[in-house]
Copies of this chain bind each other. A is one copy, B any other.
Amino acid sequence: MSLTNTEVTCDIREMLDRIGDKWSVLVIVELAGGTLRFRQLQRSVPGISQRMLTLTLRRLERDGLVGRTVYPTVPARVDYELTDTGRSLTRLLRGLADWAAEHRDTVVASRVRWDAAEQAR
């Protein structure tokens, strides 16, 4: 169960390079609820700009986590959905969310203590 080796840590870094940016997990989580169009997705992820939604989706599509379907109607219609690989990620995200929920208070308290000590200097 040891984690101390270069190979494993590189694996983790790869993962974080994939989903550690500002928007990827938010998009993935929304798509976990089902297929969404570009506009729907943008409305579902408050604060994301058009540009960042596009960039994020392209990266996820490139990695095979998200599928893109274009319907040649006018105006254009584009559906986004998680692939099987993408869906397999939701289990992991659940794990992250659970850890965060469980330890948030402790972490916040630690920060408050730290910042107070900082202030004291």
A residues lining the B interface (CB < 8 Å)? 1-4, 8-9, 11-16, 18-22, 25-26, 29-30, 32-33, 61-65, 85, 88-90, 92-97, 99-101, 103-104, 106-107, 109-111, 114-115
Contact = CB atoms under 8 A, between A and B. Distances in A.
A119 B92 CA distance: 33
Contact of A9 (B25, B107, B114): B25
Copies in the complex: 2
B97 A95 contact: no
Contacts of A64: 106-107, 109-111
B94 A3 contact: yes
Contacts of A62: 110-111, 114-115
Contact of A15 (B30, B61, B96, B111): B96
Contacts of A12: 25, 29, 93, 96-97, 100
